Structure 1
Amino acid sequence: MKKATNILLAAAFSLGITAFAQQTPAPVQKEVITITGATAHTGDGNVIENSVIVFENGTITAMGGTEVATQGRVINAQGKHIYPGFIAPAKPLGLVEINAVRASDDQDELGSMIPQVRSLIAYNAESKVVESLRPNGVLLGQITPQGGRISGSSSIVQFDAWNWEDAAIKVDDGIHLNWPSSFRRGRWWEGEERGYKPNKEYNKQIDELKQFVVNSNVYQNDATETNEAMKAMKGLFDGSKKLYVHVNSEKEIIDAVTTAKENGIKEVVIVGGYEAYKIIPFLKQNNIPVLVQHTHNLPDRDDDNYDLPYKLPKLLVDGGLLVGLENSGTSNFQVRNLPFYAGQVAGQGMDKETALQLISGNTAKILGIDANYGTLAVGKSATLFISEGDALDMRTNQLTHAFIDGREISLETHQTELWKRYMEKYSRK
């Protein structure tokens, strides 16, 4: 009897998993596909009306207006819009499923200086969170560890895969550093006054960080024993990896860039950059791109303009910086709103195609994947989608088709399945 009960429980469990399992990853593209009639937003500021896009074996082979000949299977997208797949940087996507369930949370490892921790090998390609991003056109992401001073190494993946090996686009693209703050909140539980006060440990924390960087640089040529943490830093000194510094205040941004450059780190990207608009000439001089924080936010300080978070990306773009959008500080599910952050920037006066670049072409350049992704062009990956309307407008961004490397992916998720179930229930008479 006990054995039979166990079998029934196992069967019920497996049926539950089947009912809510992620959609099966799409097979490799086998036939030539042509999309006709749509307005193509190429992700580099250009627009092609009544476009024709042909792709084969996962690569765009022809693109233009009606002069381009159709081939293979033809998708009539008249009146619709085509976009390159949007890219979500600097998020622990696929590393945490349920915050309250420790076994499903791999975004933060023990330790302070742990650049050797590789987020990619913990990436869950079957994450329901990741699956929920695709219906809004977010098809690629930078899987980023959290916590500590140096959190570890990120990698870039596409969001339709069997496992992390299949998903990987660029492995160990950069190392993420959480720069210390020159101010801290009062520890009221220790009797300190609430509110912000100077961080007396700030200079000491920077010195510890500098020493680790200096030792890591020396280690590359004079190692006498294996040190995995320092070994993982090699790419920062030879330019094969970028240092992503999560930092917001003016002073800290200057300190971070100066420290990195003075100690042999070649490529630096600011993540967050709330006060980056105050030091645009400094950032331009040092060729520093910014992955600016999400726009659906309140000002950080009482004396900031109420609309600073909304217009911050425009201020940086107008200043001549290379800018992308990220949304750290929000839940992973909020990544699906990435297109609408760009739409909000357009609402602050930025040209719509320039706003689109913040989540496509610009982000691809910052992450170093622009040779294949981020824009629509002959020779690049056929990672794109068709929307009924403006993809930056939550009212009209309704996808009909999406492709990753030419593979037509499912746009169904556990959320769309539940929506259909209950729509059917309440539509019955």
Structure 2
Amino acid sequence: MKKFNIYLIMAILVISGNSFAQQTPAAKQSEPITIVGATAHLGNGEIIENSLIILEDGKIAEVIAKSLTKRQYPGKIINAEGKHVYPGIIAPNSTLGLVEIAAVKATQDEDEMGEMLPNIRSLIAYNAESKIVESMRPNGVLLGQIVPRGGRISGTSSIVQFDAWNWEDAVVKENDGLHINWPDSYQRGRWWRGEDPDLKANKEYQEDVQELSDFFISAKAYLEGKRDYKNLPYLAMETVFSGDKKVFVHVDGEKEILDVVQFKKEHGLKNVVIVGGYYALDVAETLKNNDIPVLVTRPHSTPEEDYEDYDYPYKLANLLNEKGVLVAIEGSGQMERMNSRNLPFYAGTVAAYGMDKEEALKLVTLNTAKILGIDEHYGSLEKGKSATLFISEGDALDMRGNILSHAFIDGREVSLETHQTELWKRYSKKYKDQESE
């Protein structure tokens, strides 16, 4: 009887595992694909009406106006007249694949114990089978920067594509950036511990900044010394000092951002990115002059202070862009993993509050690719770049038009089916059947 129960449990687990598994990743592109007649939004601010796009060997072989050629269309032909083609949308500063169910601790793998953890790599914890990751593709979100959380130095992120068997298959750029949570110069008391919830100066701010600075100094001294013992955190800093690994500093305040700029100079850091940057507008000139881009916190947020414009979060990206700062949109915050699929609509909101729509598209495509250092291959529809793109029935930055018919990652046509689309079809049929009765 016991043996029967064991077999029964195993069978249930196998069936459950299969029912919750992601769609099988697409096979490598085996023939040319020609997309004919769509309006192509190149992601660099340009549009080609009635376009001709040819995908070969996982790359874009051609993207031109259809009228400029009389050549025979090679391979599989997709008639996309009346539709729109966009480069794949990129989700920066994301924890997709690191947490499946926030309320279940066993599914959380975004944080490690400790404060200075540059050697912690998010990539090896990335779950390519995540059902949340799968749900990004139907909205055109095809790539993401997977970022660890917690500590003063959280660890090292990597960039992945969202149709893979495992993290090895998924990786697009390994160990792209170091992530630092900059201390706050002002803090609110923890009301749940009986502390005064009002904003007050953080007396330990300078000490916290100095501790971070000391770590950088010690790491540099170790790397320049004999290295007669193995120190994994210090070794992970080598690519930071060389500039091969970018430094993403999660910070919002005006004073703190200025301190980050000074920190960059003191430690000779080549590639620094501000993440969040809620008050970056106040120091936009400094950021521009020091070539520091900003991953702006998601526009679908409420203002932090009573005196701010109600639409300040909606227009912040545009205001920074007008100041000459390279800007893209990130989506961290409450329910960030599920809300990552809304990235195109975040860009649409920025467009609704003053930015040209093609410029707004860059906030989730080419600008993001530039900031992450993958623009040579991703972020725009250009000859020679990766064939990572999607076809939408309408305007992809508007939830009414963002209805995908096809999506490609490196030329592979990926599935747009998810657990959510299956439920939608099931219940749509249920209520249609009831109406017909």
TM-score, L = length of structure 2? 0.96
Deviation at 1:422, TM superposition (A): 1.4
Of 97, 100, 103 in structure 2, the residue corresponding to residue 97 of structure 1 is 100
Q: 1:120–1:143: 8 Å Cα contact kept in structure 2?
A: yes
Which residue identity is paired with 1:254? L
* Pairing 1:255-266 to 2, within 5 Å after superposition: 255-266=259-270
Deviation at 1:233, TM superposition (A): 0.9
- Where does residue 18 of structure 1 map in the other structure? 18
- % of aligned pairs identical? 59
Which residue identity is paired with 1:225? Y
Question: Does the residue aligned with 1:400 lie in a helix, a strand or coil?
Answer: strand
Q: 1:217–1:264: 8 Å Cα contact kept in structure 2?
A: no
- Where does residue 422 of structure 2 map in the other structure? 417
Which residue identity is paired with 1:184? Q
Residue 320 (structure 1) aligned with residue 332 (structure 2): no
Please identify, of 266-275 and 63-72, the stretch whose mean Cα deviation from structure 2 is larger.
63-72
The Cα offsets for residues 56-94 of structure 1, whole Å up to 9 and x where unpaired, read as 110111110123432111000000000000000001110
Deviation at 1:264, TM superposition (A): 1.7
Which residue identity is paired with 1:176? H
- Where does residue 386 of structure 2 map in the other structure? 381
- Where does residue 32 of structure 2 map in the other structure? 32
Deviation at 1:13, TM superposition (A): 2.6
CA distance in 2 between partners of 1:129 and 1:192 (Å): 37
* Pairing 1:139-218 to 2, within 5 Å after superposition: 139-188=142-191, 191-218=194-221
Please identify, of 10-19 and 264-273, the stretch whose mean Cα deviation from structure 2 is larger.
10-19
User: Structure 2: which 5+ runs fail to align?
Assistant: none
Deviation at 1:193, TM superposition (A): 1.9
Question: Does the residue aligned with 1:279 lie in a helix, a strand or coil?
Answer: helix
Of 125, 130, 140 in structure 2, the residue corresponding to residue 127 of structure 1 is 130
Question: Does the residue aligned with 2:398 lie in a helix, a strand or coil?
Answer: coil
* Pairing 1:279-294 to 2, within 5 Å after superposition: 279-294=283-298
Deviation at 1:328, TM superposition (A): 1.0
- Where does residue 344 of structure 1 map in the other structure? 349
Deviation at 1:226, TM superposition (A): 1.4
Which residue identity is paired with 2:146? I
CA distance in 2 between partners of 1:358 and 1:253 (Å): 21
CA distance in 2 between partners of 1:95 and 1:387 (Å): 29
Question: Does the residue aligned with 1:245 lie in a helix, a strand or coil?
Answer: strand
Question: Does the residue aligned with 2:29 lie in a helix, a strand or coil?
Answer: coil
The Cα offsets for residues 23-79 of structure 1, whole Å up to 9 and x where unpaired, read as 000000001100000000000000000000001110111110123432111000000
CA distance in 1 between partners of 2:106 and 2:249 (Å): 28
CA distance in 1 between partners of 2:423 and 2:339 (Å): 19
The Cα offsets for residues 149-199 of structure 1, whole Å up to 9 and x where unpaired, read as 000000000000000000000000000000000011124455532221110
TM-score, L = length of structure 1? 0.98
Deviation at 1:221, TM superposition (A): 1.2
CA distance in 2 between partners of 1:97 and 1:240 (Å): 31
Call closer, same or farther: CA 1:427–1:344 in 2, change over 3 Å: same
Of 192, 210, 226 in structure 1, the residue corresponding to residue 230 of structure 2 is 226
Question: Does the residue aligned with 1:257 lie in a helix, a strand or coil?
Answer: helix
- Where does residue 242 of structure 1 map in the other structure? 246
Count of residues in Structure 1 that have an aligned counterpart in Structure 2: 429
Question: Does the residue aligned with 1:103 lie in a helix, a strand or coil?
Answer: helix
Residue 408 (structure 1) aligned with residue 404 (structure 2): no
